[in-house]
Structure 1
Amino acid sequence: MRILVPLLVDVVLVILFCAIGRRSHEEAVLAGLLRTAWPFAAGLALGWLGALLLARRTADAFDGSALWPSGVLIWAVTLAGGMALRAVSGQGTAFSFVLVATGVLALFLLGWRAAVSALG
Protein backbone atom coordinates (compact mmCIF):
# COMPACT_ATOMS: atom_id res chain seq x y z
CA MET A 1 0.00 0.00 0.00
CA ARG A 2 2.95 2.31 -0.30
CA ILE A 3 2.44 3.60 -3.84
CA LEU A 4 -0.21 2.04 -6.08
CA VAL A 5 -3.26 2.00 -3.79
CA PRO A 6 -2.71 5.53 -2.39
CA LEU A 7 -2.12 6.84 -5.91
CA LEU A 8 -5.35 5.26 -7.17
CA VAL A 9 -7.29 6.61 -4.17
CA ASP A 10 -5.96 10.10 -4.89
CA VAL A 11 -6.84 9.88 -8.60
CA VAL A 12 -10.39 8.76 -7.82
CA LEU A 13 -10.81 11.54 -5.25
CA VAL A 14 -9.53 14.24 -7.61
CA ILE A 15 -11.95 13.03 -10.29
CA LEU A 16 -14.74 12.96 -7.71
CA PHE A 17 -13.88 16.53 -6.64
CA CYS A 18 -14.16 17.68 -10.26
CA ALA A 19 -17.38 15.74 -10.88
CA ILE A 20 -19.00 17.18 -7.74
CA GLY A 21 -17.97 20.66 -8.82
CA ARG A 22 -19.45 20.26 -12.26
CA ARG A 23 -22.65 18.81 -10.84
CA SER A 24 -23.01 21.57 -8.25
CA HIS A 25 -22.93 24.12 -11.06
CA GLU A 26 -25.45 22.09 -13.06
CA GLU A 27 -22.93 21.42 -15.82
CA ALA A 28 -22.81 18.15 -17.75
CA VAL A 29 -20.59 15.99 -15.58
CA LEU A 30 -19.24 13.53 -18.13
CA ALA A 31 -19.18 15.88 -21.11
CA GLY A 32 -16.76 18.35 -19.53
CA LEU A 33 -15.09 16.25 -16.85
CA LEU A 34 -11.80 15.89 -18.71
CA ARG A 35 -11.55 19.66 -19.24
CA THR A 36 -12.17 20.27 -15.55
CA ALA A 37 -10.03 17.42 -14.21
CA TRP A 38 -6.84 17.64 -16.27
CA PRO A 39 -5.29 20.60 -14.41
CA PHE A 40 -5.80 18.92 -11.04
CA ALA A 41 -4.71 15.52 -12.38
CA ALA A 42 -1.50 17.12 -13.66
CA GLY A 43 -1.04 18.86 -10.30
CA LEU A 44 -1.59 15.52 -8.58
CA ALA A 45 1.06 13.89 -10.77
CA LEU A 46 3.50 16.68 -9.90
CA GLY A 47 2.67 16.32 -6.21
CA TRP A 48 3.33 12.61 -6.30
CA LEU A 49 6.58 13.14 -8.16
CA GLY A 50 7.63 15.72 -5.58
CA ALA A 51 6.77 13.41 -2.68
CA LEU A 52 8.71 10.55 -4.25
CA LEU A 53 11.73 12.79 -4.88
CA LEU A 54 11.60 14.16 -1.34
CA ALA A 55 11.61 10.66 0.13
CA ARG A 56 14.50 9.70 -2.10
CA ARG A 57 16.47 12.81 -1.20
CA THR A 58 15.99 12.30 2.53
CA ALA A 59 16.58 8.54 2.22
CA ASP A 60 13.22 7.89 3.90
CA ALA A 61 11.06 4.94 2.97
CA PHE A 62 8.24 6.35 0.83
CA ASP A 63 4.70 5.79 2.02
CA GLY A 64 2.04 7.39 -0.16
CA SER A 65 -0.57 6.91 2.56
CA ALA A 66 1.40 8.94 5.11
CA LEU A 67 -0.18 12.23 6.12
CA TRP A 68 3.20 13.90 6.66
CA PRO A 69 5.14 14.76 4.58
CA SER A 70 3.75 12.90 1.57
CA GLY A 71 0.08 13.76 1.95
CA VAL A 72 0.62 17.42 2.71
CA LEU A 73 3.02 17.84 -0.21
CA ILE A 74 0.71 15.99 -2.60
CA TRP A 75 -2.28 18.11 -1.51
CA ALA A 76 -0.40 21.43 -1.72
CA VAL A 77 1.07 20.74 -5.16
CA THR A 78 -2.23 19.35 -6.48
CA LEU A 79 -3.98 22.53 -5.40
CA ALA A 80 -1.30 24.99 -6.54
CA GLY A 81 -0.57 23.14 -9.78
CA GLY A 82 -4.26 22.71 -10.57
CA MET A 83 -4.96 26.38 -10.03
CA ALA A 84 -1.94 27.50 -12.03
CA LEU A 85 -2.87 25.25 -14.94
CA ARG A 86 -6.49 26.42 -14.79
CA ALA A 87 -5.29 30.02 -14.95
CA VAL A 88 -2.99 29.52 -17.95
CA SER A 89 -5.63 27.49 -19.80
CA GLY A 90 -8.27 30.19 -19.40
CA GLN A 91 -10.39 28.38 -16.81
CA GLY A 92 -11.70 30.18 -13.76
CA THR A 93 -9.74 30.76 -10.57
CA ALA A 94 -12.16 32.96 -8.66
CA PHE A 95 -11.21 33.47 -5.02
CA SER A 96 -14.29 31.59 -3.81
CA PHE A 97 -13.36 28.63 -6.03
CA VAL A 98 -9.81 28.62 -4.66
CA LEU A 99 -11.21 28.53 -1.11
CA VAL A 100 -13.62 25.70 -1.89
CA ALA A 101 -10.95 23.72 -3.76
CA THR A 102 -8.51 24.19 -0.89
CA GLY A 103 -10.98 22.81 1.60
CA VAL A 104 -12.39 19.97 -0.46
CA LEU A 105 -9.01 18.78 -1.70
CA ALA A 106 -7.68 18.93 1.87
CA LEU A 107 -10.64 16.90 3.08
CA PHE A 108 -10.22 14.37 0.27
CA LEU A 109 -6.44 14.06 -0.02
CA LEU A 110 -5.55 14.54 3.65
CA GLY A 111 -8.71 13.14 5.21
CA TRP A 112 -8.30 9.56 4.09
CA ARG A 113 -4.65 9.63 5.14
CA ALA A 114 -5.59 10.93 8.59
CA ALA A 115 -8.20 8.17 8.92
CA VAL A 116 -5.69 5.48 7.90
CA SER A 117 -3.19 6.88 10.38
CA ALA A 118 -5.76 6.97 13.18
CA LEU A 119 -6.97 3.44 12.47
CA GLY A 120 -3.54 1.97 11.80
Structure 2
Amino acid sequence: MVDLVLVLVFCTIGRLNHNESIFGGLPKTAWPFVVGLALGWLAAVIVTDRLRDGGGNPKPFESTALWPTGVVVWVCTLVGGMLLRAVSGQGVAVSFVVVAAIVLALFLLGWRGAARALGVNLEPQR
Protein backbone atom coordinates (compact mmCIF):
# COMPACT_ATOMS: atom_id res chain seq x y z
CA MET A 1 0.00 0.00 0.00
CA VAL A 2 2.85 2.39 0.85
CA ASP A 3 4.44 1.70 -2.54
CA LEU A 4 1.20 2.44 -4.41
CA VAL A 5 0.69 5.72 -2.58
CA LEU A 6 4.28 6.77 -3.30
CA VAL A 7 4.00 5.89 -6.99
CA LEU A 8 0.85 8.01 -7.18
CA VAL A 9 2.65 10.84 -5.36
CA PHE A 10 5.52 10.56 -7.87
CA CYS A 11 3.08 10.82 -10.79
CA THR A 12 1.20 13.70 -9.17
CA ILE A 13 4.42 15.65 -8.61
CA GLY A 14 5.34 15.11 -12.25
CA ARG A 15 2.01 16.42 -13.47
CA LEU A 16 2.22 19.42 -11.15
CA ASN A 17 5.74 20.24 -12.37
CA HIS A 18 4.43 20.34 -15.92
CA ASN A 19 1.31 22.35 -15.01
CA GLU A 20 -0.94 19.48 -16.07
CA SER A 21 -4.31 18.52 -14.63
CA ILE A 22 -3.99 16.06 -11.78
CA PHE A 23 -7.50 14.65 -11.70
CA GLY A 24 -8.03 14.42 -15.45
CA GLY A 25 -4.60 13.09 -16.39
CA LEU A 26 -3.30 11.19 -13.38
CA PRO A 27 -4.67 7.81 -14.52
CA LYS A 28 -2.92 8.17 -17.90
CA THR A 29 0.36 9.07 -16.23
CA ALA A 30 0.14 6.56 -13.40
CA TRP A 31 -1.08 3.35 -15.04
CA PRO A 32 2.29 2.29 -16.54
CA PHE A 33 4.02 2.69 -13.19
CA VAL A 34 1.20 1.00 -11.27
CA VAL A 35 1.40 -2.00 -13.62
CA GLY A 36 5.20 -2.00 -13.24
CA LEU A 37 4.75 -1.87 -9.47
CA ALA A 38 2.37 -4.86 -9.51
CA LEU A 39 4.84 -6.82 -11.64
CA GLY A 40 7.59 -5.81 -9.22
CA TRP A 41 5.68 -7.20 -6.26
CA LEU A 42 5.10 -10.46 -8.10
CA ALA A 43 8.77 -10.65 -9.06
CA ALA A 44 9.86 -9.87 -5.48
CA VAL A 45 7.75 -12.74 -4.14
CA ILE A 46 9.22 -15.11 -6.75
CA VAL A 47 12.81 -13.99 -6.08
CA THR A 48 12.37 -14.29 -2.31
CA ASP A 49 10.87 -17.76 -2.70
CA ARG A 50 14.06 -18.89 -4.42
CA LEU A 51 16.40 -17.52 -1.73
CA ARG A 52 17.63 -19.76 1.05
CA ASP A 53 19.00 -19.01 4.51
CA GLY A 54 22.21 -20.51 5.90
CA GLY A 55 20.40 -23.76 6.73
CA GLY A 56 18.96 -24.22 3.24
CA ASN A 57 15.47 -23.15 4.29
CA PRO A 58 13.41 -20.73 2.18
CA LYS A 59 13.68 -17.14 3.35
CA PRO A 60 10.39 -15.60 4.44
CA PHE A 61 8.98 -12.81 2.30
CA GLU A 62 9.37 -9.39 3.92
CA SER A 63 7.64 -6.44 2.29
CA THR A 64 9.92 -4.00 4.12
CA ALA A 65 13.20 -5.67 3.10
CA LEU A 66 15.51 -3.51 1.01
CA TRP A 67 16.80 -6.70 -0.66
CA PRO A 68 15.28 -8.34 -2.50
CA THR A 69 11.83 -6.74 -2.15
CA GLY A 70 12.73 -3.05 -2.36
CA VAL A 71 15.28 -3.36 -5.14
CA VAL A 72 13.15 -5.70 -7.26
CA VAL A 73 10.03 -3.54 -6.81
CA TRP A 74 11.99 -0.38 -7.69
CA VAL A 75 13.62 -1.83 -10.82
CA CYS A 76 10.37 -3.37 -12.10
CA THR A 77 8.40 -0.20 -11.41
CA LEU A 78 10.95 1.90 -13.28
CA VAL A 79 11.63 -0.42 -16.21
CA GLY A 80 8.05 -1.65 -16.54
CA GLY A 81 6.71 1.89 -16.28
CA MET A 82 9.07 3.20 -18.93
CA LEU A 83 8.43 0.30 -21.32
CA LEU A 84 4.67 0.70 -20.97
CA ARG A 85 4.96 4.47 -21.44
CA ALA A 86 6.96 3.90 -24.62
CA VAL A 87 4.52 1.40 -26.15
CA SER A 88 1.56 3.61 -25.24
CA GLY A 89 3.09 6.67 -26.93
CA GLN A 90 4.03 8.56 -23.77
CA GLY A 91 7.40 10.26 -23.36
CA VAL A 92 10.51 8.47 -22.16
CA ALA A 93 13.19 11.12 -22.56
CA VAL A 94 16.54 10.22 -21.01
CA SER A 95 16.25 13.07 -18.51
CA PHE A 96 12.84 11.75 -17.39
CA VAL A 97 14.21 8.23 -16.97
CA VAL A 98 17.05 9.54 -14.80
CA VAL A 99 14.72 11.66 -12.64
CA ALA A 100 12.23 8.81 -12.34
CA ALA A 101 14.99 6.38 -11.34
CA ILE A 102 16.20 8.70 -8.60
CA VAL A 103 12.79 9.69 -7.24
CA LEU A 104 11.39 6.15 -7.34
CA ALA A 105 14.54 4.88 -5.60
CA LEU A 106 14.16 7.51 -2.88
CA PHE A 107 10.50 6.65 -2.47
CA LEU A 108 10.47 2.85 -2.82
CA LEU A 109 13.78 2.17 -1.09
CA GLY A 110 13.70 5.16 1.25
CA TRP A 111 10.63 4.22 3.24
CA ARG A 112 11.95 0.68 3.68
CA GLY A 113 15.32 1.94 4.87
CA ALA A 114 13.66 4.39 7.27
CA ALA A 115 11.37 1.69 8.67
CA ARG A 116 14.33 -0.63 9.22
CA ALA A 117 16.48 2.10 10.76
CA LEU A 118 13.70 3.11 13.15
CA GLY A 119 12.89 -0.50 14.01
CA VAL A 120 9.31 -0.14 12.79
CA ASN A 121 7.72 -3.51 12.00
CA LEU A 122 5.15 -3.10 9.24
CA GLU A 123 4.87 -6.81 8.49
CA PRO A 124 1.48 -8.41 9.13
CA GLN A 125 1.44 -10.60 12.22
CA ARG A 126 1.45 -14.30 11.39
TM-score (norm 2): 0.88
Q: How many pairs are equivalent?
A: 113
Q: What corresponds to 1:18 in structure 2? A: 11
Alignment of 1:103 with 2:102, yes or no, is yes
Q: Among residues 50, 67, 73, which one is paired with 2:43 in the alignment?
A: 50
Higher relative contact order (CA 8 A, sep 6+): 1
Q: Greater CA radius of gyration, 1 or 2?
A: 2
1:56 to partner: Cα distance: 1.6
**Unpaired segments ≥5 residues, structure 2:** 52-57, 120-126
Instruction: State the identity %.
Output: 61
* CA RMSD after TM alignment: 0.6
Q: What corresponds to 1:77 in structure 2? A: 76
Q: What corresponds to 1:40 in structure 2? A: 33
**Unpaired segments ≥5 residues, structure 1:** 1-7
**More off after superposition, 53-62 vs 90-99:** 53-62
For residues 13 and 96 of structure 2, what CA distance do their matches in structure 1 show? 13
